[in-house]
Structure 1
């Protein structure tokens, strides 16, 4: 199993942990399936009233889709399969509050998960970036999701600068991506504290509020997602050229801002 779930029936809080630390918690096809199954199962567990989502190992929350994952694509240019589209709680109809706790790297496809969390807590080691453009790839779904959490200019800079820059936890807090910054190693505990408070409130009011908040964002998200497959088909370099860019990426440290 690549996803661990621990639940405290006394507090009503479940902690969902991405558990591939040796791969920086990158999402392979097995983890994608497990995440969907976890969110759907939590819908039926009335002892769980709030959820914390985090990554194992401390070096990364997640680095998105595992580059070794083989995702077969249909020949038609009008169809595209993206396994990350089904990994989020909202996509799986879970309206219990989900708080993301981030330590280390959160990049690329990690925003599929962060974009469906209700809020994000990060420790001071957290950095956020989107490397797509560095590898000749279109940042489509990631851009739509982050544009709903950050000012346009901040999203544009992060997306267009690719691997050259990383957004620090402090800067992420300043622009609204992160709601709290803790000391190193403290994000999960802070997220659990918040989740415990929320889990103590009447369930119907909490879940109705989550659904209302999501409804405020849903129309823009759906329109953005509708254009994403076409932009990816038009703008992505062939896989072999992406692999060349990845293999030849510069080793100079990125700027942290």
Structure 2
């Protein structure tokens, strides 16, 4: 049982939720471990892109391991520890792109995790649901917030209010995932996306992601102005000069995130 993280020579971090015997559910220990993994992705300059998947062939993640929370004492003061063991889907700012390789059940907290990623590849037998209302609670850690912004209103409300699941074909049709591929192609396809992104200028990639994610809260005029500021900053970087030079010399650029 663990959260495995490996970084290849191209700067792609592969994170694996390695708890297949519990459908890759998160107990307290694994929530802490995934938080540490996201912090490493955020802070390690050698990492340019990350791919996250689940161990085995049955589940990406089934979310919180409810059995581990039953009977656990809590204090009201914990409610205000909003930055403790921060998660990607709870608001940790990771501007490096994240790709989800969804290899099976993607439900509850597993789906809210996927909703916080940028590109999603799924297998045909993957299923997606936010079933918390069937258990007397709501889909938190971004469940209600990202679902309604990433899906058409009626589809998002159907998922949130009924708690019913949708299959991979339906998820692709509504744009919840980018592509559905056979299981044996899943990681290869996710890594192909990751390598294409990792080949681009890291500072520009991260800036593009941050501006896109923040666009709904900025308004168009502010967003347009922030694009100008950002491009002014990026134009003075070594990567911008390298990009122009490589284009002139008709060669692959060698970006250094500087």
Which TM-score bucket, shorter chain as reference?
Answer: 0.7 to 0.9
> Residue 14 of structure 1 aligns to a residue in which SS?
strand
**Relative to 1, partners in 2 of residues 1:95 and 1:106: Cα closer, same or farther, differing over 3 Å?**
same
Mapping for residues 111-122 of structure 1, pairs under 5 Å:
111-122=111-122
Query: Structure 1 residues 6, 101: closer, same or farther in 2, change over 3 A?
Result: same
- Structure 1 counterpart of 2:5: 5
User: What is the CA distance between 1:185 and its match in structure 2?
Assistant: 3.5
Is residue 3–residue 18 contact of structure 1 (8 Å, CA) maintained in 2? yes
Contact 2:172-2:179 at 8 Å conserved across structures: yes
- Aligned pairs (5 A) from 1:76-225: 79=79, 86-88=86-88, 91-140=91-140, 141-162=142-163, 165-217=164-216
Question: Helix, strand or coil: the match of 1:148?
Answer: helix
Q: Once the 2 structures are TM-superposed, how far is the Cα of residue 145 of structure 1 from its aligned partner?
A: 2.0
* Larger RCO (alpha carbons 8 Å, 6+ apart): 1
CA offsets, 1:58-79, max 9 Å, x none?
A: 1010011101222543348x94
> Could you say what the CA RMSD is over the residues aligned between the two structures, in angstroms?
2.6
CA contact (8 A) 1:65 1:84 kept: no
| Secondary structure class of the residue paired with 2:67 | coil
Instruction: Compute the TM-score of the two structures, normalised by the length of structure 2.
Output: 0.76
Secondary structure of the 2:46 match is: coil
- CA gap of 1:138–1:81, structure 2 versus 1, over 3 A, is farther
For 2:158 and 2:84, the matched residues in 1 are separated by: 23
Q: What is the CA–CA distance in structure 2 between the aligned matches of 1:185 and 1:217, rounded to whole Å?
A: 37
Q: Which shifted more, 35-44 or 116-125?
A: 35-44
Structure showing greater Rg: 2
Structure 2: which 5+ runs fail to align? 220-258
User: 3-state DSSP class of the match of 1:43?
Assistant: helix
Provide the C-alpha distance between the structure 2 equivalents of 1:8 and 1:89, rounded to a whole number of angstroms: 24
How far 1:89 moved relative to its partner? 6.9
Deviations 1:91-140 (A, max 9, x none): 33321110011011001111331122112111111110122122222334
Residues in 1 aligned to 2:81 and 2:125: alpha-carbon distance in whole angstroms: 33
Q: Could you say if the C-alpha distance between residues 218 and 53 of structure 1 is closer, same or farther in structure 2, counting changes exceeding 3 Å?
A: farther
The total of aligned residue pairs comes to: 216
3-state SS, counterpart of residue 37 of structure 2:
helix
* Whole-Å separation in 1 of the counterparts to 2:199 and 2:160: 38
Match of 1:36 in 2: 35
Alpha-carbon distance in structure 2 between the residues aligned to 1:184 and 1:196: 19
2:111–2:129 Cα contact (<8 Å) kept: no
